[in-house]
Amino acid sequence: MTLAPVGHPAEHFFTVFEQPLDGGKAVIGRDLSAAPALNSAFTLVLNTRGLVISPMYILLKDRGLPVNQQQPSFVLTAPVYTPSSVPGDPGTLRGWVFVGMRSRDLAMGALKGATQGLVNINLTAPGLSGRNVDVPVIHAGPASSLAAQRVVVPVAQEQWTLTVEDTTRSDHLRSGLDPDDVIAGSGVLLSALAALLTWFVLSARRRALERVQTATRDLRDAEAQARRQSALLEAIMNSISDGVAVVDSSGGLLLYNRAGTQLLGIDTDAPGAGPWQDRYVMYTADGAAPFPPEQMPLVRAVAGQSSDQVDMMIRSPGRPEGVLVSVSGRPLDRAAGVEGGAVAVFHDVTAARRLQADLRDQHDRHEHLLRVLSDLGEGVVIMEEGRIVFANDAYCALTGYTVAELREIDPGSLAFDRADRVTAQSDEADVEPSGDAAAVLLIRLRHHDGHAVPIETTGLTVEHAGRLQRSGWSVTSRIGNGSVPSWLSATPT
């Protein structure tokens, strides 16, 4: 339902249910305070707590019609209260129930048949500011010289006056129609019709009250269910170790969890106090420059774009030193009832990124060391669970294999013959988990092209991640140094 307020009155009165009696279209949310006559009636209801009829006015729905089709109308209204347990207290006002009628249509429908087209009838009823409004109901012809007669009809807190005058067709009146009968009959009919409308309004009030009681009960149940769901959502949000924040389309902070406020060091004031950008300042991951606004995960999410694991440095009054966080943003599902909103999930990656940087530094140092050894002609190979996982350039040059090829072959197949294989396996078994290097051995490797490469080698076992890991073998070619034993030059067996 959409409310459509008009102007700036002290109070607005909106329709929440409407059932047209003329076949027209119902308009929900219309502001009835736009009609002063209705304002007057609704205000009077607050004082009388009973049935009230409004002054004559033009219905709001008729004001778009041509002037000759508009007619004075009225509203019968009664208040709707919730029951009270206090004797004499009608309860709390919940609204009004009312029926609006066009006066000419109402009177003509009730009196036309009774007049037989022989008299003129005029209705006089109170209008705004105490001025009476005359409503020509039936005009049968020119008035006769006979004096007009009047009858007063009580309607709610007001009195209407019916004026009946004879027409020039007096012969017909004398022969069969008594003007007194017409007046009396018209008054009775109009009074009966007013009573019928009163009953309709009062019975509608009873039905409305029953609906209010039912709706109030349902509302209480729905409110209790909403509280339970809200408490569950809050418990779930606060049990999440990652920070969670929800914003609307303008950047207003709607929801955040405890982890988020603690992580960012922001105050736990009421959501919606201002855009989230006003609460802390965001920088690039190195903290050297402001983070580009168009690349911020929440900004992109509000625009309908998703972001994953974006690192940024965030500084706030509670965390002036800054915290490095990884942020993922998503547009908010429209089922949440927030058009254009977004949600972000973030967690502290300061320690993780520092560890990663340390590992990169260590890796770079190890790579540099291996390159130096390779430049000196010292081959290095790393084995794990009996497979080669790394070999430097010098070892690849000694064997004639690439690193990829070495990872695919059985290391034992690199031994030139059975004696070299037995010697290498024996040395591998002698390597202690203590990290001490094995003795230096002289063996031959089988080059990729098949010739023998005499080398000296030693091994070392390194413990990593709680298990023993076969580590490097330092390999140095002994070709051409004059110290190769004669058996290294034997024919392979």
132-175: pLDDT as tens digits: 888 887 777 787 767 777 878 888 888 888 787 777 665 454 54
One domain for residues 333 and 360: no
One domain for residues 251 and 373: no
Sheet containing strand 149-155, edge to edge, reads 132-138, 119-126, 158-166, 149-155
One domain for residues 67 and 184: yes
H or E stretch at 327: strand 319-331
Q: What's the pLDDT score for residue 401?
A: 93
Nearest CA-CA partner of 74 in 160, 3, 184, 4: 160
User: Please, which pLDDT band fits residue 460 given cuts at 50, 70 and 90?
Assistant: low
- Domain end (from 186, 210, 234): 210
Q: What's the pLDDT score for residue 421?
A: 67
Q: Is residue 221 part of a domain?
A: no
Q: Is residue 16 part of a domain?
A: no
Nearest CA-CA partner of 156 in 184, 197, 116, 115: 197
Q: Which residue has the higher pLDDT, 27 or 65?
A: 65
Domain coverage including residue 295:
243-348
One domain for residues 319 and 405: no
Q: What is the pLDDT of residues 366-385, one digit of tens each?
A: 778 777 777 777 788 887 77
One domain for residues 268 and 329: yes
From CA 154, how far away is CA 440, in angstroms rounded? 125
Q: Which residues contact 419 (CB under 8 A, 6 or more apart)?
A: 493
Residue 395 has pLDDT above 60, yes or no: yes
One domain for residues 330 and 440: no
Average pLDDT over residues 227-238: 83
Nearest CA-CA partner of 439 in 431, 450, 451, 447: 431
Q: Is residue 170 part of a domain?
A: yes
From CA 470, how far away is CA 129, in angstroms rounded? 105
Q: pLDDT > 90: what percent of the chain?
A: 5
From CA 457, how far away is CA 441, in angstroms rounded? 5
One domain for residues 181 and 330: no
* pLDDT-wise least confident of 158-172, 210-224, 345-359, 466-480: 466-480
| Residue 252 and residue 279 in contact, taking contact as beta carbons nearer than 8 Å | no
Q: Greatest CA span in the chain, whole angstroms?
A: 159
Q: Is residue 220 part of a domain?
A: no
| Mean pLDDT for all residues in the chain | 75
* pLDDT-wise least confident of 48-62, 128-142, 464-478: 464-478
Q: What's the pLDDT score for residue 34?
A: 81
Judged by DSSP in three states, 215 sits in helix
Q: Which residue has the higher pLDDT, 469 or 336?
A: 336
From CA 53, how far away is CA 158, in angstroms rounded? 7
Structural tokens at position 373:
């050894």
Q: What is the CATH number of the domain that holds 47?
A: 3.30.450.350
Average pLDDT over residues 422-427: 58
One domain for residues 202 and 118: yes
3-state helix vs strand vs coil in the chain, percent to 5: 40, 30, 30
One domain for residues 180 and 120: yes
One domain for residues 289 and 371: no
User: Please, which pLDDT band fits residue 486 given cuts at 50, 70 and 90?
Assistant: very low
Average pLDDT over residues 197-220: 60
Q: Is residue 74 part of a domain?
A: yes
Structural tokens at position 278:
């006003």
Q: What is the CATH number of the domain that holds 266?
A: 3.30.450.20
Q: Is residue 27 part of a domain?
A: no
Q: pLDDT > 70: what percent of the chain?
A: 72
- Domain end (from 348, 376, 401): 348
Residue 239 has pLDDT above 70, yes or no: yes
One domain for residues 58 and 119: yes
CA angle 417, 418, 419 (to 5 degrees): 95
Report the amino acid identity of residue 389: V
Domain tally, the chain: 3
Other Cβ atoms less than 10 A from the Cβ of 456: the count is: 16
Q: Is residue 5 part of a domain?
A: no
Question: Which residue in the block uniquely carries the two structure tokens 């019975």?
Answer: 203
Q: Which residue has the higher pLDDT, 174 or 79?
A: 79
Q: Which residues contact 227 (CB under 8 A, 6 or more apart)?
A: none
Structural tokens at position 312:
């940024």
What backbone torsions phi and psi does residue 164 show, to the nearest 5 degrees?
A: -120, 125
Q: What's the pLDDT score for residue 80?
A: 78
Q: Where are the alpha helices (DSSP H) in 16-169?
A: 36-48, 103-115
H or E stretch at 209: helix 179-239
What backbone torsions phi and psi does residue 383 show, to the nearest 5 degrees?
A: -120, 145
Cross-strand bridge partners of residue 252: 275
User: Please, which pLDDT band fits residue 114 given cuts at 50, 70 and 90?
Assistant: low
289 DSSP 8-state letter: S
What backbone torsions phi and psi does residue 329 show, to the nearest 5 degrees?
A: -125, 145
Q: Is residue 13 part of a domain?
A: no
Structural tokens at position 191:
């009074």
User: What's the whole-model pTM score?
Assistant: 0.42
Q: What's the pLDDT score for residue 47?
A: 81
Sheet containing strand 243-247, edge to edge, reads 253-256, 243-247, 342-348, 319-331, 307-316, 281-283
- Domain end (from 291, 316, 348): 348
Average pLDDT over residues 328-338: 78
One domain for residues 372 and 338: no
